[in-house]
Amino acid sequence: MAKTPSKSSQKNPKQTQPPRTDMPALEGDYLTTNQGTRISNNHDSLKAGPRGPSLLEDFVLREKITSFDHERIPERAVHARGAGAFGYFECTKDMSKFTEAGLFGKPGKKTPVLVRFSTVAGSRGSADTARDVRGFAVKFYSDEGNYDLVGNNMPVFFIQDAMKFPDLVHAVKPEQHNEIPQASSAHDTFWDFISLMPESTHMIFWAMSDRAIPRSYRMMEGFGVHTFRFVNQKGEGTFVKFHWKPKLGLHGLVWEEAQMISGMDPDFHRRDLFENIEQGNAPEWELGVQLIPEADEHKYAFDLLDPTKLVPEELVPVTVIGRMVLDRNPDNYFSEIEQAVFHPGHLVPGIDLTNDPLLQGRLFSYTDTQITRLGGPNFHELPVNRPLADVNNHQRDGFGRHTIPKGRVAYEPNSIGKGCPFHAGAKMKSFVHFTERVEGHKVRARSESFGDHFSQAKLFYDSQSAPEQEHIRKAFTFELSKVEIPAIRQRMVETLMLVNKELAGAVATALNLKVTKGTEQPSPANPDNSPVPPNRATDTAIYDDEAIQRPKTRVPLPKKSPALSMVLSSEPSAETRKVAFIISANTPAGEVTALKKAIEDAGGAVELIAPEVGEQKMGGAKVNVPKALNSTPSVVYDGVAVFVDDKSFANPEDLGHALKFVAQSFKHCKTVAVSSISKKLVSLATMGLADKAAPGLVPAGAKPKAFVEALSQHRHWERAALVKSLPA
């Protein structure tokens, strides 16, 4: 039961001394604004109708987000850890039927871009491979102004309304009493929040999947998350979802690898991106769109404006309209990446917003937070943020002003400056908001059409391959095992029951919990089901559907969607794959040469590893070895070729390092090449498991092409059941 509000929270006694600046414990007090005004609803922003746009007059939302935006200086409050690169976007399909945006209007049209990838929860000094959402933000320097497509590597998000964003981030960040843990979601406050927010269920399945630990920025998808609008020259709108699909396919790390890399190479993703661009391996993505006519807004069993939902590709196929290539690294990370500003409200004619309540809040938040982070309102004048299009307006002065405006006039209309700059006329291409009728009661509420929180989580889980489902189970088990409060673990397992009973049962067994059948989810606004005062403003049923005619029969979700699985949706490729060759003086040079050529012909790369770095002998020839066996982990490679035996090492420690390297590669289901002299060593490293014709184990000398074919598979998951007995 909720505690009775303290007397001090109900009235203010006469002050006899200055008020204390330390905040008392909050248990038992009603929520208030910073001015002491009690808040009736802390879950929904103020809207013009439950599905209408958010209102600027919502002082509760603005105060809450403003406070959050200014919490950290100077790094980003979220997405602090990042890497970026420059390149270009090339249009490959004429989309002028749907949008007047010039960058999508003519095949062959190229637009410069900047892309920043990032993690969400960690600070700038955190590791790259933490389990986390990855930011995928693209700035198009178009002829018509800068357009920012600010998305993630997952198509949905944890919350439906921007009002909850500060709460989400406060929950996932290090706990405030001890600043622990860093860049991790395996702690009480995060899972307490998630277990009380049913709307987060879909996203938490994505976060527990291998999508949250990508092999490389170059091998992950990007999504716009929200539903946006294309608008053509006639003013006609079409709903649009954006997808970035990587040329190299979708690939992830296994959890043990991610943990090891965090300690051995915390800059793994940043280094991978930078080095591949320097080596000429420019990463590439296709840009695809899902187009939904305005007439089909209410066609589906989910709401297009709900950011916790995706549109399955089986219902609306993805149409490829262009490609993006990143071919230049920054010259200075701070100037060009850290100072880069992205904003979902940086739009160009032909692309517009929708009434998604999370997107509506982002429109305010991004500008607000950049003002603090970059010292004022003129962050757009920094070189990396400056548009290629001309800038003409009467905005003046302020911190960080770079331009030097001339003349007397800083207002409009004017005659002294001959009226310049002036409004773009009807014949001039300019930004015009999509004309949409908005009508509804002014309410702090949420549409009933946002109410299904489990169907898409079930679709995601059911669409995964068997190894991916196993990884999700292990992720939930690992994360929840770190939670100290039993009630939170129990509540989360009950949530899993609403998605998949077998999964919930397995997690419950691993955590020594009992699952109660038929458990009802508590209301997120009232988790302990305690009595609360009536509040007409949150009674959505009064207002919902007042101006919306939804069809009685809507298109249901498919039972499975292979596009949601990394394993089932990726084509084999060995391009840019990195293979370790373990060598010594008695290594058969001919086998090395043949396999190296086959890998490089397929676009892969080879790195020699030996007990010592520098110039040394290999099969009678001299070679330069860049990496030492004792300081180079297997987890940063996609495969290994073993060209040594147990007699190749004078130092027993070096033999131990070689055995560990091979064992980890084998355990993590990577391709392993066995040379004519290494069979005994590989058998010893794998505790005899390699003697059983394990998948992905290839003779190095006789079949170099077979190794490349196996390498292109990324992992050999059918080996997973075989290697469970191997130590880490």
DSSP classification of residue 35: T
**Separation between Cα atoms, residue 705 and residue 602, nearest integer Å:** 9
- pLDDT band with cut points at 50, 70 and 90 for residue 594: very high
**Separation between Cα atoms, residue 674 and residue 656, nearest integer Å:** 18
Q: What is the DSSP string of 420-475?
A: -S----TTS-------------EEE---GGG---SHHHHHHHHTS-HHHHHHHHHH
DSSP classification of residue 207: H
Q: Is the pLDDT of residue 73 over 80?
A: no
Place of tokens 């709108």: 237
Tokens of 707: 């190794």
Q: How far apart are the first and last CA of the chain?
A: 46
Instruction: Give the pLDDT of residue 62.
Output: 86
Identify residue 335 by its one-letter amino acid code.
Answer: S
Instruction: Give the pLDDT of residue 25.
Output: 52
Instruction: Give the pLDDT of residue 35.
Output: 73
In angstroms, the Cα distances linking 522 to 6, 500, 533, 617 are: 25, 19, 17, 68
Give helix 59-69 / helix 165-172 axis angle, nearest 10°.
30
In angstroms, the Cα distances linking 438 to 47, 50, 52, 55, 489 are: 10, 11, 7, 12, 43
Q: Is the pLDDT of residue 527 over 80?
A: no
41, 43, 146, 152: the active-site residue: 152
Half-sphere exposure for 696 (CA within 13 Å, toward CB): 25
Q: Is the pLDDT of residue 292 over 70?
A: yes
DSSP classification of residue 677: T
Instruction: Give the pLDDT of residue 530.
Output: 38
**Separation between Cα atoms, residue 452 and residue 517, nearest integer Å:** 19
Instruction: Give the pLDDT of residue 426.
Output: 64
3-state secondary structure 117-152: EEECCCCCCCCCCCCCCEEEEEEEEECCEEEEEEEE
- Tell which wins on pLDDT, 700 or 637: 637
Q: Is the pLDDT of residue 372 over 50?
A: yes
- Taking residues 250-260, what's their average pLDDT? 96
Give residue-wise pLDDT tens across range 465-500.
999 999 999 999 999 999 999 999 999 999 999 999
Q: Is the pLDDT of residue 6 over 50?
A: no
pTM for the model: 0.89
- pLDDT band with cut points at 50, 70 and 90 for residue 653: very high
- Taking residues 342-360, what's their average pLDDT? 94
Place of tokens 């990446």: 337
Q: Is the pLDDT of residue 5 over 90?
A: no
Q: Is the pLDDT of residue 278 over 70?
A: yes
Tokens of 531: 């009595």
152 counts as catalytic:
yes
- Tell which wins on pLDDT, 518 or 669: 669
Q: Is the pLDDT of residue 376 over 60?
A: yes
Give residue-wise pLDDT tens across range 149-173.
999 999 999 999 999 999 999 999 9
**Separation between Cα atoms, residue 580 and residue 161, nearest integer Å:** 47
Name 512's Cβ contacts closer than 8 Å, sequence gap at least 6.
Answer: none
- pLDDT band with cut points at 50, 70 and 90 for residue 510: very high
Over pLDDT 70: what percentage of the chain? 91
**Separation between Cα atoms, residue 59 and residue 33, nearest integer Å:** 9
Contact in structure between 128 and 153 (CB atoms under 8 Å) = no
Q: Is the pLDDT of residue 356 over 80?
A: yes
Instruction: Give the pLDDT of residue 77.
Output: 83
Sheet arrangement for strand 578-582: 627-628, 605-610, 578-582, 639-642, 671-674, 697-699
Domain boundaries, the chain: 59-156+214-385, 572-719
79 counts as catalytic:
yes
Q: What is the DSSP string of 602-627?
A: TT-EEEEEESS-EEEEETTEEEEE-E
- Taking residues 456-468, what's their average pLDDT? 97
Give residue-wise pLDDT tens across range 596-636.
999 999 999 999 999 999 998 888 788 999 999 999 999 99
Contact in structure between 360 and 351 (CB atoms under 8 Å) = no
Tokens of 639: 């495969």
Identify residue 619 by its one-letter amino acid code.
Answer: G
Instruction: Give the pLDDT of residue 543.
Output: 56
For 256, phi then psi, to 5°, come to -65, -40
43, 79, 471, 668: the active-site residue: 79
Helix (H) / strand (E) element for 705: namely: helix 704-711
**Separation between Cα atoms, residue 446 and residue 283, nearest integer Å:** 41
Q: Which fold has domain 572-719?
A: Rossmann fold (3.40.50)
Taking CB atoms within 8 Å and a gap of at least 24, the contacts of 1-7 are: 1/528, 1/530, 2/28, 2/528, 2/530, 2/531, 2/532, 3/27, 3/28, 4/28, 5/29, 5/30
Pick the CATH number of 59-156+214-385 from 3.40.50.720, 2.120.10.70, 2.40.180.10, 3.40.50.620: 2.40.180.10
Instruction: Give the pLDDT of residue 546.
Output: 57
In angstroms, the Cα distances linking 105 to 101, 324, 375, 443, 641 are: 6, 16, 37, 40, 48
Instruction: Give the pLDDT of residue 252.
Output: 97
Instruction: Give the pLDDT of residue 24.
Output: 53
- pLDDT band with cut points at 50, 70 and 90 for residue 13: very low
Q: Is the pLDDT of residue 588 over 50?
A: yes
DSSP classification of residue 104: G
- pLDDT band with cut points at 50, 70 and 90 for residue 430: confident
Half-sphere exposure for 686 (CA within 13 Å, toward CB): 28
- Taking residues 403-410, what's their average pLDDT? 88
- pLDDT band with cut points at 50, 70 and 90 for residue 9: very low
- Taking residues 339-362, what's their average pLDDT? 94
Give residue-wise pLDDT tens across range 97-151.
999 999 999 999 999 999 999 999 999 999 999 999 999 999 999 999 999 999 9
- With vertex at residue 611, the alpha carbon angle to CA 609 and CA 614, rounded to the nearest 5 degrees, is 70
Nearest Cα to Cα of residue 292 among 240, 352, 366: 240
